[in-house]
Chain A
Amino acid sequence: MVTIIDRTLTTFNTAGITARDLNHFCNLLFTCGVTKIELTPELVDLLSFPVTATGLKQWLGGRRFFLTQILPEPLTSDSPGMKESKPLWRLEPNELVEKNIPVSKLNSRYHQKIRIIGLEDLMTRDYPAVFTALLNSGIDTLDLCPGNQQHCATAIALEWLLAGGQSISCGFANHHNFPPLEEVLMGLKLSQPDLFTGDLSVLSELRDLYEKLAGQPVGKMKAIIGTDIFKVESGIHVDGVLKNPHTYEPFNPQTVGNQREIVLGKHSGRQSLLYKLDELELSESTAHIILKHIKSRCTQLGRNLSDRELRTLASEVQNDKQTEIYC
């Protein structure tokens, strides 16, 4: 089982974070498959543990540490009245020493718990050889946190784990140029479905909370967590998705707490429009005229047409047609 460390909270401005939001954020991270959450001392003070939790809070002083989860023993009886007990949280010291040095200079004599940072250019180098050197370095605990300045951190993280690496550090939504947590988790889920146990359906909720805490929006097309990634407009794709969604979807939208939506725009075909008219219980009789208007309006507006706008447009076209008939 690999260790997934989330570092998102270590770079937040803690001033505006409430204990409730912090606890909820940590809960969601654990639910989606994170093994350890890295925290600062300020956040420890804010964190309200579940009643039964134990920890090292006072002992730690000003050091950083990890929040981990202890899963309860599975219930042995299904008799009425048995309640599922909640996981416990525990603090442990973060003893990882960060290194941004060439792999050849790593020396296992000095540090037995190392986090390698940097390595952002690894994808244009012989990365399998670098991973082999790291794995053979003799270091006990080797965590990788590649930078995302070259937009390849997810790939480096996943290739590291596939090569036999046991620990990776990430940040939600590409926070602070850490490998995007949600991409690494989905990559693991798709490549090792039998081993991955996280529930990614909480990712949408996690995104909303992240936006609130970080004070910045996540891109609508952001891989895995963008709100619009399962919107389908173009006629060719709508045709495929209506026949079998798997044709143009890498995974079911519900897996990440999202949902598929057929939208109308410049690239819509007749089939998309008929689908929407049926969905909104509108007449199909003037579909060809409506489609023409949709294409030109969406080109002007540079966006899709909402359901309300489609109702209005359908009504206008219908009225125009009736006027033509009766005049």
Chain B
Amino acid sequence: MTNRQKYIVDTTLRDGEQSPGMAFSIREKVTIAKSLDALGVSRIEAGTPAMGREECRAFEKIKLACQKAQIIGWNRMNLSDISQSIGCGADIIHVCVPASDLLIREKLRTTRSQVLEKLSACAAAIHTEKRELTIGLEDASRADWDFVVLLIETARDLGATTLRFSDTVGIMSPSLCKATISRIPDNIDIEVHMHNDLGMAVANSIQGLRSGAKYADSTLFGIGERAGNCNLEHLLIATQGQLDFGINLDELQWRQADLKSIIYKNKLAYA
């Protein structure tokens, strides 16, 4: 097995908040971020600054409030979005790249070559501002492997420090996850982003980490689109004594309990 030391990228404030009905005020976002920072989460995906003025204000306050964690600004493959993230002071500028032909053709209505061109332009803008670039492959689990490889090589050539492999609709199995992540060359840090549509986000994250990924994405209470993301508490329970994220499970549990009323304003949503 690879190195036991692993890191958490918390996306409660971005992918988690996208869960229908979830909505945090600026103050609530800062409270959650401070708690994650104190807990030892290494990277906090604080939101999507392109959403507007309120999101930018929250982002700036989070940046000021957090002592240790790196703050990630999430962006579509769009220069205007990236400019907003840079303006908010994000430590890491994350660019989400649709990797499957389904998303490229049906959602973006574009082509693979245009995706590569746009990605290069985005990377140039980020490097001009001397920010760290990470690249996420959206819907990578349904993408053509040859194009995934091309995107990985492109990401490395463009100076991305981390490559996020996303199982956007949560259809992977642990064995597939293991086989896939093992095939990614080790010249770029790998991050796994697993959704829970089949109830296997924790197991898939574990297999990704055991197969060489350095980072796992997770959220508090596992909140997120549809059936949610990898649940941080569950991931820590399942990997106790096996993987070290630098996070204490007991501390996570009491901090999470404190945040429950902020996250679940509508009590019926939680079960």
Q: With A186-B198, A221-B227 known to touch, is A250 a contact of B170 (CB < 8 Å)? A: yes
B226 and A267: CB pair below 8 A? Answer: no
Please name 7 further chain A to chain B contacts, defined as beta carbons within 8 Å, in addition to the given A151-B202, A247-B107, sorted by A numbering.
Answer: A152-B202, A218-B271, A221-B227, A222-B227, A233-B21, A247-B102, A302-B22
Q: Which residues of B does A touch, CB under 8 Å?
A: 17-25, 51, 54, 76, 102-103, 106-107, 109, 139, 168-171, 173-175, 196-200, 202-204, 206-207, 210, 222-223, 225-228, 231, 234, 237-239, 242-243, 264-266, 268-271
Q: Closest approach, in angstroms, between the C-beta of B19 and any C-beta of chain A? A: 7
Q: With A151-B231, A180-B199, A229-B226 known to touch, is A265 a contact of B173 (CB < 8 Å)? A: no
Q: Which residues of A contact B225 (CB under 8 A)?
A: 232, 234, 237, 248
12 contacts between A and B (CB under 8 A): A124-B210, A151-B237, A152-B202, A155-B204, A162-B173, A218-B271, A223-B199, A244-B106, A248-B225, A250-B169, A265-B21, A302-B266
**B25: contacting residue among A231, A232, A246, A299, CB under 8 A:** A299
Q: Closest approach, in angstroms, between the C-beta of A300 and any C-beta of chain B? A: 8
**A162: contacting residue among B175, B196, B197, B199, CB under 8 A:** B175
A152 and B102: CB pair below 8 A? Answer: no
A298 and B23: CB pair below 8 A? Answer: yes
Q: Mark A83-97, 1 if CB is under 8 A from B, else 0.
A: 000000000000000
Q: Which residues of B contact A220 (CB under 8 A)?
A: 268-269, 271
> A231–B17 Cα gap in the complex (Å)?
14
**A155: contacting residue among B19, B203, B265, B268, CB under 8 A:** B203
Chain B residue nearest in CB terms to A155: B203
Chain B residue nearest in CB terms to A148: B199
Q: Closest approach, in angstroms, between the C-beta of B52 and any C-beta of chain A? A: 8
> A154–B227 Cα gap in the complex (Å)?
14
Q: Does A36 reach chain B (CB closer than 8 Å)? A: no
A123 and B238: CB pair below 8 A? Answer: yes
> A312–B17 Cα gap in the complex (Å)?
26
A219 and B198: CB pair below 8 A? Answer: no
Chain A: number of interface residues, binned into ranges:
35 or more
Q: How many A-B residue pairs have CB under 8 A?
A: 174
Chain B residue nearest in CB terms to A242: B107
> A190–B171 Cα gap in the complex (Å)?
8
Q: Does A150 reach chain B (CB closer than 8 Å)? A: yes
Chain A residue nearest in CB terms to B103: A247
Q: Does A159 reach chain B (CB closer than 8 Å)? A: yes
Q: Closest approach, in angstroms, between the C-beta of B206 and any C-beta of chain A? A: 5
Q: Closest approach, in angstroms, between the C-beta of B171 and any C-beta of chain A? A: 5
Q: Does A191 reach chain B (CB closer than 8 Å)? A: yes
Q: Mark A238-268, 1 if CB is under 8 A from B, else 0.
A: 0110011011111000000000000101110
- Enumerate A300-327 residues with CB–CB distance to B below 8 Å: 300-304
**A250: contacting residue among B21, B107, B197, B269, CB under 8 A:** B197
Q: Mark A170-187, 1 if CB is under 8 A from B, else 0.
A: 000000000010010011
Q: With A154-B203, A155-B204, A234-B225 known to touch, is A267 a contact of B17 (CB < 8 Å)? A: yes
Q: With A218-B271, A243-B106, A250-B170 known to touch, is A233 a contact of B206 (CB < 8 Å)? A: no
Q: Does A275 reach chain B (CB closer than 8 Å)? A: no
Chain A residue nearest in CB terms to B202: A151
Q: Closest approach, in angstroms, between the C-beta of B63 and any C-beta of chain A? A: 20
**A239: contacting residue among B107, B139, B204, B210, CB under 8 A:** B107
B51 and A154: CB pair below 8 A? Answer: no
> A300–B265 Cα gap in the complex (Å)?
10
Q: Which residues of A contact B139 (CB under 8 A)?
A: 247
Q: State the 5 A-B residue pairs at the shortest beta-carbon distance, nearest first.
A: A302-B265, A155-B203, A219-B271, A183-B199, A266-B23
**A223: contacting residue among B102, B203, B227, CB under 8 A:** B227
Q: Does A215 reach chain B (CB closer than 8 Å)? A: no
Q: Closest approach, in angstroms, between the C-beta of B86 and any C-beta of chain A? A: 20
Q: Closest approach, in angstroms, between the C-beta of A201 and any C-beta of chain B? A: 17
**B169: contacting residue among A162, A221, A249, CB under 8 A:** A249
**B196: contacting residue among A223, A298, A300, CB under 8 A:** A223
B23 and A224: CB pair below 8 A? Answer: no
**A221: contacting residue among B202, B210, B228, B265, CB under 8 A:** B228
Q: Does A118 reach chain B (CB closer than 8 Å)? A: no
- Enumerate A98-146 residues with CB–CB distance to B below 8 Å: 121, 123-124, 128
Q: With A124-B206, A247-B106, A304-B20 known to touch, is A223 a contact of B198 (CB < 8 Å)? A: yes
> A229–B222 Cα gap in the complex (Å)?
13
Q: Closest approach, in angstroms, between the C-beta of B191 and any C-beta of chain A? A: 19
Q: With A221-B269, A250-B198 known to touch, is A302 a contact of B23 (CB < 8 Å)? A: yes
Q: Which residues of B contact A267 (CB under 8 A)?
A: 17-18, 23, 51
Q: With A154-B200, A299-B23 known to touch, is A123 a contact of B226 (CB < 8 Å)? A: no
Q: Closest approach, in angstroms, between the C-beta of B175 and any C-beta of chain A? A: 6
Q: Which residues of B contact A229 (CB under 8 A)?
A: 197, 226-227
> A74–B19 Cα gap in the complex (Å)?
46
Chain A residue nearest in CB terms to B174: A155
B198 and A224: CB pair below 8 A? Answer: yes
Q: Does A230 reach chain B (CB closer than 8 Å)? A: yes
